[in-house]
Structure 1
Amino acid sequence: MDAVLVIGRILFALIFVTSGIAHFAKLEAMTGYAQYKKLPAAKLGVLISGLFFLLGGIYIAAGFWVDLGALLLAITLILAAVIFHNFWKETDPTTKQNEMIAFNKDIALAGASLILFALIAWGTLTEFGPSIGNLAFFNF
């Protein structure tokens, strides 16, 4: 089971590590998009979000400070969803749908990050909440 958790952590973190790198590699383009979305101090916002994505992803993948990494990701994802994917302001149906998809993706990933944070910060899954059983097919 430990191997599955390590693989899961790495797969989950990969999108954030690559996104963090992209924030720095494509700084000017991402700053332009942030300015278009009227983010104050756009370049600083891109740098900070890139750093949070990169560190959060590395911490989770490496297995140290996983709770901090998950919290960094959750904060960044919630802010990105609200600031950049505010579908409720769009009038064009296609743009509105695309922004809603991006908003929902960010919120879902933030939720997964918060679950990971809670599991690490407060203990085991059984302490996390009620359970209806486990996924074991064979009990020996």
Structure 2
Amino acid sequence: MSLLRVLGRPMLASMFLAGGLDAVRNPQNVAPLAESVVRPVTDRVPALPDGTEDCVRLNGAVQVVGGLLLATGRMSRPAALALAVSLIPTTLAAHRFWEEEDPAQRAQQRIHFLKNLSMLGGLLIAADDTGAAPSLLWRSRHTARELRRDAHLVRRSVRAGAAPAAAAGRIRAKLSC
């Protein structure tokens, strides 16, 4: 694993660990902000808890677990995807800069919105990162290509061996008559 991955993954995960722990411990701090996003989502997804604070806790738990997995490099691709999914409602709930009246607050919320958008981009890159190992798609294509080549070689060797064997069989047949 490269030094960039060893350093970069924990750096990317740090924000999710801190924010997730705070959301698990103190969901009441962000529940009023999250209400506008949680309510429409829970109406459409029956598997989610009904209470806003419970949803905030669940989102925080996903961020803590995903952050730990990403930071340690264990199942980092699924962890990055889970963090990316958890970041979308967090961003839409907490950084609604388009609703701010005060120009200073609007600018501050826009900065946080764009920061989260940047983190989302980093998570998508991390979700696609195979850690310098070939991806499953590459491995499957490479294996299929090798199998086709091997089958072609077997076919050629069978054809090459069949002609002398057929000639020998014809000679034997003529000699035995």
Normalization by structure 2: what TM-score?
0.61
Secondary structure of the structure 2 residue equivalent to 1:120: coil
Name the CA distance, whole Å, in 2 between partners of 1:119 and 1:3: 14
Task: Report which of the two structures shows the higher radius of gyration computed on alpha carbons.
Answer: 2
Name the CA distance, whole Å, in 2 between partners of 1:14 and 1:106: 13
Normalization by structure 1: what TM-score?
0.75
Contact 1:27 1:43 in 2 (8 A): yes
Correspondence 1:103 to 2:127: no
Contact 2:33 2:93 in 1 (8 A): no
Contact 2:34 2:90 in 1 (8 A): no
Correspondence 1:13 to 2:13: yes
Structure 1 residues 77-131: Cα deviation after superposition (integer angstroms, max 9, x where no partner): 122222321211222212211111111011110110001101239966xxxxxxx
Return the offset for 1:60. 0.6
Correspondence 1:118 to 2:128: yes
Label 1:31 to 1:79 Cα distance change in 2 as closer, same or farther (>3 A): closer
**Identity rate, percent:** 26
| Residue equivalent to 1:55 | 65
Contact 2:14 2:67 in 1 (8 A): yes
Equivalent residue pairs, number: 125
Q: CA RMSD in A?
A: 2.6
What are structure 2's unaligned runs of at least 5 residues?
40-50, 135-177
Name the CA distance, whole Å, in 1 between partners of 2:12 and 2:53: 26
Label 1:122 to 1:42 Cα distance change in 2 as closer, same or farther (>3 A): farther
Return the offset for 1:30. 2.6
What are structure 1's unaligned runs of at least 5 residues?
125-140
